[in-house]
Amino acid sequence: MTGGRNTIVRIEILTGFVLLLIAGVLAILAAFNSAHAFDLASQSLRARHDIDQLFGEIKDAETGQRGYLLTGKSDYLAPYHEARNELDQTRSALRTLVWAAAQRRLVNQLDTAIDQKMAELEHTIQLYDTSGPASALAIVNDDRGLTLMGQIRTLTRQLDNEQSDQQQARLHQFRLQQQVLLGAIIAATLVAFVLALLVLRQGERQQTELALKNAALREQMHQQAGTEAQLRHVQKMDTLGQLTGGIAHDFNNMLAVIVGNLEIAQLRLERGSGDVEKFMQNALLGAGKASGLTKRLLAFSRRQALRPIAVDVNACVHEMSAILARTLGENIAIRLSLDDALWPAYVDRPQLESTLLNLAVNSRDAMESGGQLTILTANANFDEHPCDQNEDTLSGDYVMMAVSDTGHGMTPEVMQRAFEPFFTTKAVGRGTGLGLSQIHGFVLQSNGHIKIDSTPGLGTTIRLYLPRAPRLSARNEQHQTQVSALPHVVLVVEDDPDVRELAKGALEELGYTALLADGAEAAEALLSEHPEISILLTDVVMPGPSGVSLAREMTRRYPELRALLMSGYPRDIVDRAQPHDDRTRLLAKPFTMRDLAEALRAALNDE
């Protein structure tokens, strides 16, 4: 009895899976047909646009001819010549969009009428030039041109009506396919729901049967479950150990650099040798890498706010080259030509990386049979070499990054529209037309400039002119922390005594007076005793009230007090603890004396 019931349930589940598969296939087909119907409707819309444009060009040509015959001024022929140049292209585009036999006959008749009309216009102009206005006007007055224009108007109206009907039919088909798609999705959802109920019912039934068989079997299963749980725990710890080991390996390498160089420097100082600058710089470099590793680890769990910084474009290109090689494929060679003395650029690095990737993908699509992608960097000064742009005049220092390919290139007409949103020459489904427009927007927002050079059949070069990062004075470039003493008192609130002493030493080295507190209670007492305190430098996470609460309360109580938080947490986590507070700045741990000096200056300069 039980076996028969289980067989029925299995059949129900199998039937449910088959129905779910059928619903999924129907949904895929409906989605494909819906997209195809939408493309056809869009094609009809473009055809109607070309029909309207074609009639407008004929009218422009006739207007130019009439103006010339009436005035004799050749300037009036400008619309005529422009229309002649554009007619062939518009007619060709229209032919690619018209497929129905009846519509193609209308297009053939329209072509004949247009050819006759243009021949009539050209003949009257030539007759005006050779025999005078009377002969030309006699041709005009015989109403043959009016009749041809009427035929053209009638044919374009008929063709537009045909396309309008076709567009409505295609839109109706699109809506129908949308409804089919919706029905398939609903059906798939219902089948999945019923299938889930069947599986749950079968599972409950099996659990009940197993529970009723005997207690010994349940105990065995319980022991097995415990064993599996222990195994999963061991696997989890093993995975965690591998992750921790990898991170520890990187940190140990960096600590080895820091400790080793400091020991060498200490030994040299003990021997009286003053040649320790190289080892101190190496130790600082190792510490900087360790700090960067922690920031990259934190970045995995959040989306950081984008901002422009001083970026080494050459380093960015080198780091992206491996990704580009995998993305572009083996049939495209990548060549780098980078200026060794390149200035840093003031841009948002993630956006620059995205821009470089987008440009490389565009180049790949233009080189379907393979080719070469060249990335070039150089310094550009437009004070010495004026920019040849007509619309914008650049001045000052820029970092130029050029991406060149050996693809099919662009015509002048395509180049003029390359930055328009949604404009693309790629096949349907291969591009949105947003790539270059987004790059254009990013470059302009960065106060830069973008230029395209392209030759059909030879390739395309896109040059980005990015603003040069602000230069520091020679003294600041050597060490920005060498500042004159400032008559400011800083209250350091930090529960870790080592960090507290480090902050005190750094502040005194920078010329500040430092007072120390190990928590919020001590800080409040010192603030009441020392009204000369101008900056509160506090850790975020401490025993008792947090640094955020302390900063909020003390700046409310002492309006002239400036607050500077220091924390190993990312900026967005601190912001969530103190929303809508722009007066409190954040100094990220670990920090250098240069970071501390800049943060203190910025806090003091806040109004």
pLDDT at position 353, please? 84
- Among the candidates 438, 467, 496, a domain finishes at 467
Chain-centre distance for alpha carbon 350:
8
347 and 412 assigned to the same domain: yes
Strand, helix or coil for residue 378: strand
Residues 362 and 411 in one domain: yes
pLDDT for the residue 603: 85
Residues 6+ apart with CB under 8 A from 154: none
* Phi, psi for residue 8 in degrees, rounded to 5: -60, -45
Find the range with the poorest average confidence among 363-377, 411-425, 427-441. Answer: 427-441
The length of the chain is 607
Residue 583, classed as helix, strand or coil, is coil
Residue 241: per-residue pLDDT: 46
- State the CATH number of the domain containing residue 431: 3.30.565.10
Compare 393 and 391 and report the one with higher pLDDT.
393
pLDDT in tens, 440-481: 878 888 889 999 999 998 999 999 999 999 875 444 444 444
Least confident range from 3-7, 188-192, 360-364, 455-459: namely 3-7
Q: Is 164's pLDDT higher than 60?
A: yes
Same domain (yes/no): 402, 342 = yes
Q: How far is CA 423 from CA 52, 435, 438, 457, 458, in A?
A: 20, 10, 12, 21, 22
Whether the CB-CB separation of 327 and 357 falls below 8 Å is answered with yes
Residue 108 within any structural domain of the chain: no
Q: Across residues 371-376, what is the average pLDDT? A: 95
pLDDT at 178: 73
Number of domains in the chain: 4
Nearest CA to 72 out of 18, 16, 134, 147 is that of 134
More confident residue, 248 or 154: 154
Q: Residue 520's domain is classified under what CATH number?
A: 3.40.50.2300
Average pLDDT over residues 398-414: 92
Q: Is 522 found in the same domain as 447?
A: no
Residue 241 belongs to domain spanning: 219-299
Give domain status of residue 448, yes or no: yes
* 3 — pLDDT class (breaks 50, 70, 90): low
343 in the same domain as 436:
yes
Mean of pLDDT values over 170-189: 76
For residue 132, is it within any domain? Answer: no
- Please state which of the ranges 265-279, 367-381, 420-434 shows the lowest mean pLDDT: 420-434
Residue range 548-570, pLDDT digits in tens: 899 999 999 999 899 999 887 65
Instruction: Check whether 206 has a pLDDT greater than 80.
Output: no
- Which are the contacts of 579, defined by CB distance < 8 A and separation ≥ 6? none
pLDDT value, residue 234: 46
Range name among 299-303, 345-349, 361-365 with the lowest pLDDT average: 299-303
In a domain, 316, yes or no: yes
**C-alpha distances out from residue 394 to 311, 312, 382, 440, 453, Å:** 21, 22, 6, 16, 18
Same domain, 488 and 359: no
Q: Which of 189, 206, 238 is the last residue of a domain?
A: 189
Residues 250 and 344 both lie in one domain: no
pTM (predicted TM-score): 0.35
Q: What angle do CA 184, 187, 190 make, to 5 degrees?
A: 150
- How far is Cα 224 from Cα 231, in angstroms, rounded to an integer? 10
Measured in whole angstroms, the distance separating CA 558 from the mean position of its chain's CA atoms is 43
Task: Tell me which DSSP letter residue 76 carries.
Answer: G
Q: What is the pLDDT of residues 215-256, one digit of tens each?
A: 777 788 877 766 655 644 444 444 344 344 445 555 666 676
The answer as to whether 94 is a domain residue is yes
Retrieve residue 159's tokens.
């063709």
Task: Let me know whether 395 and 322 are in one domain.
Answer: yes
Residue 132, Ramachandran bin (φ over 0: left; ψ between -120 and 50: alpha; else beta)? left
Higher-pLDDT residue of 173 and 75 is 75
Q: Kindly tell me the burial class for residue 191, based on how many C-beta atoms sit within 10 Å of its own C-beta (0-12, 13-18, 19 or more).
A: buried
Q: Report yes or no on 531 lying in a domain.
A: yes
Mean pLDDT, residues 164-192: 76
Closest to 150 measured CA to CA, from 89, 57, 59, 61: 59
| Cβ-contact 177, 30 below 8 angstroms | yes
Residue 355 inside a domain? The answer is yes
Asked whether residue 260 falls in the same domain as residue 389, the answer is no
240's CB contacts (< 8 A; 6+ apart) are none
Residue of 535, 569, 529, 578 whose CA lies nearest to 555: 535
Regarding whether 463 and 318 lie in a shared domain, the answer is yes
Question: What is the Cα–Cα distance from 538 to 565, expressed in whole angstroms?
Answer: 5
**For residues 355 and 464, is the Cβ–Cβ distance under 8 A?**
yes
Which of 276, 299, 322 is the last residue in one of the domains?
299
Residue 209 lies in a domain: no
Is residue 490 located within the same domain as residue 598?
yes
What CA–CA distance (Å, rounded) separates 34 from 174?
Answer: 5
Asked if residue 442 and residue 565 are part of one domain, the reply reads no
* Average pLDDT over every residue of 299-304: 37
In this prediction, residue 67 carries a pLDDT of 85
pLDDT band at 296 (very low <50, low <70, confident <90, very high): very low
User: Most distant CA pair in the chain: distance in Å?
Assistant: 118
Residue among 129, 121, 123, 126 at smallest CA distance from 58 = 121
Q: Give the residue among 193, 239, 180, 227 at the shortest CA–CA distance from 37.
A: 180
> 200 versus 109: which is more confidently predicted?
109
**pLDDT value of position 230:** 60
